[in-house]
Chain A
Amino acid sequence: MLPIDAAAHSSRWRHRHPVDKAVLGLGLTVLAISLPPWPGAALVLVTALVVMLGPAAVPGRRLWRAYRVPLGFCVTGALPLLLQVGGPDGFVTLAAGGPTRAGELLLRTSAASLGVLLFAFTTPMSDLLPRLVNAGVPAPVVDVALVTYRMSFLLLDSVRRIREAQAARLGHTTRAATWRSLAGLGATAFIRAFDRATRLQAGLAGRGYDGTLRVLVPEARVSARFTLAAGALLAAVAALTFVLERALR
Chain B
Amino acid sequence: MHIAEGFLPPAHAVAWGIASAPFVVHGVRSLTREVREHPESTLLIGASGAFTFVLSALKLPSVTGSCSHPTGTGLGAILFRPPVMAVLGTITLLFQALLLAHGGLTTLGANVFSMAIVGPWAGYGIYRLLRRLDVPLMVAVFFGAFVADLSTYCVTSVQLALAFPDPSSGFLGALGKFGSIFAVTQIPLAVSEGLLTVLVMRLLVQSSKGELTRLGVFLARKQSGTRTAESAETTAATKTSETTETVVR
Instruction: Please tell me if the beta carbons of B58 and A186 are within 8 angstroms of each other in the complex.
Output: yes
The proximity string for B residues 1-44 relative to A, scoring 1 for CB distances below 8 Å and 0 otherwise, is: 11111111110010000000000000010011001100110111
Instruction: Report chain A residues within 8 Å CB of B51.
Output: 155, 189-190, 193
The one of B45, B54, B87, B91 in contact with A159, judged by C-beta atoms closer than 8 angstroms, is B54
Instruction: Please tell me if the beta carbons of B61 and A143 are within 8 angstroms of each other in the complex.
Output: no
Q: Give the nearest-CB partner of A204 in chain B.
A: B43
Q: Give the nearest-CB partner of B60 in chain A.
A: A182
The reply on A133 being an interface residue by CB < 8 A is no
The one of B49, B98, B176 in contact with A148, judged by C-beta atoms closer than 8 angstroms, is B49
CA distance A194 to B40 in the complex (A): 12
Instruction: Please tell me if the beta carbons of A69 and B7 are within 8 angstroms of each other in the complex.
Output: no
The reply on B144 being an interface residue by CB < 8 A is no
- The bracket for how many chain A residues form the interface is 35 or more
Instruction: Please tell me if the beta carbons of B99 and A2 are within 8 angstroms of each other in the complex.
Output: yes
Known: A152-B54, A190-B208. A73 touches B2 (CB 8 A): yes
Instruction: Report chain B residues within 8 Å CB of A180.
Output: 199
The reply on B245 being an interface residue by CB < 8 A is no
Known: A141-B28, A183-B200, A190-B208. A86 touches B168 (CB 8 A): yes
B116 CB to nearest chain A CB (Å):
14
Interface residue total, chain B, C-beta cutoff 8 A: 74
CA distance A200 to B41 in the complex (A): 11
Query: Which of A29-37, A214-222, A229-237 is the contact stretch?
Result: A29-37
Query: Which of A9-17, A52-60, A104-112, A241-249 is the contact stretch?
Result: A104-112
A157 CB to nearest chain B CB (Å):
10
Instruction: Please tell me if the beta carbons of A140 and B5 are within 8 angstroms of each other in the complex.
Output: no
The one of B54, B98, B174 in contact with A116, judged by C-beta atoms closer than 8 angstroms, is B98
The reply on B135 being an interface residue by CB < 8 A is no
Chain A CB count within 10 A is highest, among B1, B39, B60, B94, for B39
The reply on A84 being an interface residue by CB < 8 A is yes
The reply on B100 being an interface residue by CB < 8 A is yes
The reply on A19 being an interface residue by CB < 8 A is no
CA distance A96 to B168 in the complex (A): 10
Query: Which of B102-110, B147-155, B223-231, B236-244 is the contact stretch?
Result: B102-110
A173 CB to nearest chain B CB (Å):
13
Instruction: Please tell me if the beta carbons of A85 and B211 are within 8 angstroms of each other in the complex.
Output: no
Chain A interface secondary structure, helix, strand, loop or mixed? helix
Q: Give the nearest-CB partner of A5 in chain B.
A: B99
B149 CB to nearest chain A CB (Å):
15
Instruction: Report chain A residues within 8 Å CB of B68.
Output: none
Instruction: Please tell me if the beta carbons of A191 and B211 are within 8 angstroms of each other in the complex.
Output: yes
Instruction: Report chain A residues within 8 Å CB of B98.
Output: 4, 116, 119-120, 125, 128
Known: A86-B169, A87-B169, A141-B32. A70 touches B4 (CB 8 A): yes
The reply on A83 being an interface residue by CB < 8 A is yes
The one of B7, B10, B75 in contact with A74, judged by C-beta atoms closer than 8 angstroms, is B7
Instruction: Report chain B residues within 8 Å CB of A30.
Output: 106
Chain A CB count within 10 A is highest, among B5, B6, B42, B177, for B6
Instruction: Report chain A residues within 8 Å CB of B164.
Output: 80-81, 101, 105
Q: Can you list 19 pairs linking A and B with CB atoms under 8 Å apart?
A: A29-B104, A84-B169, A85-B169, A85-B174, A87-B168, A108-B7, A125-B99, A148-B46, A148-B88, A148-B92, A155-B53, A159-B58, A178-B61, A180-B199, A182-B58, A186-B58, A186-B75, A189-B55, A211-B42
What 3 A-B pairs have minimum CB-CB distances, sorted nearest first? A147-B46, A112-B6, A183-B199
Q: A74-B7, A105-B164, A146-B46 are in contact. List 18 more A-B contacts (CB 8 A).
A: A67-B101, A87-B169, A109-B4, A109-B6, A110-B6, A111-B6, A112-B106, A116-B98, A120-B99, A143-B42, A144-B87, A148-B50, A154-B50, A179-B195, A187-B204, A190-B200, A194-B211, A197-B44
